[in-house]
Amino acid sequence: MNGISPSICSNVRAHLFQMIQSVRAVLLCAVLLCTSTSIAQEQVTPLHADGWRAIGKSMQERSAFNRRQQPQVNKSESPREIESGGDLAYSTAQEQTDDWILDRDVWDGSISMGTDGTRGNSETERIHGQVELERLTRCGLLELELDYIRSDANDQLTKHHALFELSHQWIREDSPTSWFGEFGIEYDEFKAFDMRLKANGGIDRTLFKSERNTIISRFGAGVSKEVNGPDDRVVPEAVFGLDYAHSKDDFQTWQIQFEYFPDWTDFTEFRIEARVEWEVILDKDYGLSLKMLGIDRYDSTPINRKPNDLTYSILLSWKL
């Protein structure tokens, strides 16, 4: 080997390496081809029977104005039972997949959007987007809500905040009392903090319920924390709330929600969250409606900011 030049040795090694790589590629292609052929020959087992994507009672049958209602679930039906004539039908595989996919027979909700602006001597832009989702669970009702608002005037940001809330209600059959749990995130670029986190739970009680009206009270406890703010302590809070829902007719609904969060250690420090919503159905077949919405947030400790923030919008809403 001493008589062979180094360049020849390097060329031989390079060719051998390329041959080995080619053989490996051919073997890999053969393995993949055999695997794909065997998979194609296997009989595919459907995750659910034909026509049975619905899990639980359809939320479309529930009135939009009366969300916190007791679901009518037949306890005699087995969770794994598939019946040809019922609403409750899901298998083990279906329970693991369809149960949390955004199936319109399972989830109810809406996507709303509103915008306005001006051009000329002044330039303004404003956008308000909203997503609301809810679904029945094995033991109650799960709700998710997101509001995003942004305003600009002459290329200057004047308002920018987002509100997210996830809640669950554990419903007790044949009882006006139920349990609730909530988690929320409040982001506001014009507050003294980056965001506020809150978590609470307690008891809901239906005070009055009729075909057109519902009144629900709420009491509980929880905590809140301001992130990257002057006061970053965890604040223990009480929860007092009242919800009112009214359906004027088949095309108009009202909702009023009020929540009061006093500091357990000092009731002179508190927060208030209120919401008023009027919805007018434009087209039932397409799920289109016009929504007039007002959101008010009050903080008794604003830290060199105004204590009250009020947002009102007109949104075009599409029902899922």
pLDDT tens column, 12-22? 555 555 656 55
Give the rounded percent of residues in the chain with a pLDDT score beyond 70. 68
- The whole-number pLDDT of residue 21 equals 58
**CB 94, CB 47: distance < 8 Å:** yes
Within this chain, do residues 63 and 19 fall inside the same structural domain, yes or no? no
In a domain, 82, yes or no: no
Average pLDDT, stretch 78-96? 44
Is the pLDDT higher at 249 or at 173? 249
Q: Residue 88 above 90 pLDDT?
A: no
**Mean pLDDT for the stretch of residues 284-298:** 95
Q: Please, are residues 101 and 306 in contact by the beta-carbon 8 Å criterion?
A: no
247 and 155 together in one domain: yes
Which pLDDT score is estimated for 25? 58
8/63 same-domain check? no
Average pLDDT along the chain: 80
Beta carbons of 243 and 215 less than 8 angstroms apart: yes
User: Is 45 inside a domain boundary?
Assistant: no
* 102-140 residue pLDDT tens: 666 788 999 999 999 999 989 999 999 999 999 999 999
Residue listed under structure tokens 């695997």 = 35
Q: What is the pLDDT of residue 16?
A: 58
pLDDT at 57: 40
Whether residue 67 sits in one domain with residue 14: no
Q: Are 272 and 296 in contact (CB under 8 A)?
A: yes
Structural domain containing residue 64: 59-74+87-319
- Please report whether residue 292 resides in a domain: yes
User: pTM here?
Assistant: 0.69
Residue with tokens 């009144």: 215
According to the model, what pLDDT value does residue 27 have?
A: 58
Look at residue 172 in the predicted model and tell me its pLDDT.
Answer: 85
Compute the distance between CA of residue 226 and CA of residue 263 in angstroms, rounded to an integer.
Answer: 14
Alpha carbon 99 to chain centroid, angstroms = 15
Would you say residue 254 lies in a domain?
A: yes
Distance CA 158, CA 150 (A): 8
d(CA 124, CA 183): 34
314 and 256, same domain (yes or no): yes
Assign 173 a pLDDT band (cuts: 50, 70, 90): confident
258 part of a folded domain = yes
CATH classification at residue 195: 2.40.160.40
At 21-31, the pLDDT tens digits run 555 555 555 55
In a domain, 107, yes or no: yes
Q: Which two tokens stand for residue 182?
A: 């909530």
Q: What DSSP state is assigned to residue 82?
A: B
Token pair, residue 67, equals: 């969300």
Of the ranges 185-189, 228-232, 247-251, the best mean pLDDT one: 185-189
Spatial distance between the Cα atoms of 233 and 237, rounded to a whole number of angstroms: 12
Which residues neighbour 123 within 8 Å (Cβ) at sequence distance 6 or greater? 117, 152, 153, 154, 155
pLDDT of residue 105: 72
Number of domains the chain contains: 2
Q: Please give the distance of CA 53 from its chain centroid, rounded to a whole number.
A: 21
81 within some domain: no
164 and 246 part of one domain: yes
Q: Is 43 a member of any domain?
A: no
Q: What are phi and psi of 51, to 5 degrees?
A: 80, 5
What percent of the chain stands above pLDDT 90? 59
